[in-house]
Amino acid sequence: MHKMYNEIDKRKMKTYAKYILSLVLIGLVVAPASFAGNKQRIGQAGASELLINPWAGTSGWADANSASVKGLESFGLNIAGTAFVNKTEIGYANSNWLAGTGINVNAFGLIQKVGDAGALGVYVQSMNMGEIEVTTVESPEGGLGTFNPKFSTIGISYAKEFSNSIYGGLVMKIVSGGIADLKTTGVAIDAGIQYVTGAQRQLHFGITLRNVGPTMKYTGDGMSFRGVVPPNGVDMTVEHRSAEFELPTQVKIGLAYDFNFGVGQRITIAGNFTSNSFSKDQVQVGLEYDFKNILLLRGGFLYENGINPFIADDYADRTSVFTGPTGGVSLRIPLNKENGSVFSIDYSYRDTDPFQGVHTIGARIIL
């Protein structure tokens, strides 16, 4: 009997190993070949709001923890991390995006454990750019009213614990945006996997493919205008055709390692490589200090070609508003010591130049 169970376990582990190897090969082959951060393609994708991480915990250490992220904040990095939810997690976050611009990013999410190993999740992310003055060729100074661009994303996810070491997940996102007379809607999919090993489950590996979907385009009355059409000079409504645009697909490959001190303290170091299809590739490194799951301090650095960590205002080759440094903190208040439920307040800061950085504050209930 024991021999039969051992054979079954061996077959399962071989299957899981094939999953891991397949994803690793996909990441290693697809990332350099198709998503090599081509300089000639920078800025050619649409729906760039899909690249925004609206959560305070993960952004506090520069999105470096794609291999070890757990719970609600996995929506912004690696959806496989939602499989770690024990029962229920609900949260909200607000980002003062590029402080001084009047742009706000709001995110709300809910994850619920289903069955013994699965987790269902839903989240909503919205981007509000505030009131913008309407201008025309005849009235370049405005005075014609205002308009308010809005972009939103709704995601539904499912993640599962395949074994004590392997976790995987998938999320389907509906993307929409525009103004009153011009809108666009599309669909994108994220898929990710995490692998945890070690005597204390201290070594983490993760890989995720994000924002994969068909092209999108804008439609609406904003594409039309009244004009004189040659050769007969007829005054009629003319409609422009909008060009289609691709989604900002990316691959993330991450590693993380926990140093557990046995007195309720932990230090985690993490690194992540992000291969972008329509912008420069990035490398993120970060560190988190956990004091008895009550106080968590984070710091990180995001690097891409053109960011010089020693020259803050080096604009020569920089194509990003971010200058690299990030930091964050979380305060967790125990709600029930028996089941470990907590109320968490999270904050992060991402340095930018120009503008006054990105400030994100959020709250979560973890049951």
Q: Which mean pLDDT values do the consecutive 10-residue runs of the chain (367 residues) have?
A: 50 53 50 51 80 95 96 94 95 95 95 94 93 83 84 96 93 92 92 93 94 90 74 72 88 95 92 91 96 95 85 72 94 88 96 93 95
Category of 329 on φ-ψ map: left (φ > 0), alpha (ψ -120 to 50) or beta:
beta
Amino acid at position 162, single letter: F
DSSP 133-147: E---SS-TT--S-EE
Tokens 């692998």 -> residue: 195
pLDDT of residue 34: 43
Q: What is the CA radius of gyration of the chain?
A: 23
Instruction: Tell me the sheet residues that pair with 359.
Output: 96, 349
**Joined tokens for residue 32:** 């350099």
Q: For the stretch 257-290, what's the b/e string if a residue is b when 16 or more beta carbons lie within 10 angstroms of its beta carbon?
A: ebeeeeeeebebbbbbbbbbbbbbbbebbbbbeb
pTM to 2 decimal places? 0.85
- Cα(16)–Cα(59) distance, integer angstroms: 30
- Cα(78)–Cα(108) distance, integer angstroms: 17
Residue 343's H or E segment, with its range, is: strand 341-352
Helix (H, G, I), strand (E, B) or coil at 300: strand
pLDDT of residue 22: 56
pLDDT of residue 132: 85
pLDDT of residue 5: 44
Alpha helix stretches (DSSP H) within the chain: 2-34, 56-59
User: In terms of DSSP bridges, do strands 118-128 and 103-114 run parallel, antiparallel, or are they unpaired?
Assistant: antiparallel
**Would you kindly state where each structural domain of the chain is located, as residue ranges?**
2-302
- Cα(131)–Cα(179) distance, integer angstroms: 11
Q: Which DSSP symbol is given to 219? A: B
- Cα(118)–Cα(147) distance, integer angstroms: 43
Integer angstrom CA distances of residue 331 from 40, 66, 162, 296, 350: 43, 21, 31, 7, 19
pLDDT of residue 244: 87
- Cα(95)–Cα(73) distance, integer angstroms: 14
Q: CA quadruple 195, 197, 201, 202: dihedral positive or negative?
A: negative
Contact indicator for 132, 112 with CB cutoff of 8 Å: no
Contact indicator for 293, 72 with CB cutoff of 8 Å: no
Contact indicator for 87, 367 with CB cutoff of 8 Å: yes
pLDDT of residue 269: 97
Contact indicator for 149, 160 with CB cutoff of 8 Å: no
- Cα(259)–Cα(264) distance, integer angstroms: 11
pLDDT of residue 353: 87
**Joined tokens for residue 3:** 């021999």
- The closest of 129, 173, 149, 102 to 355, measured between CA atoms, is 102
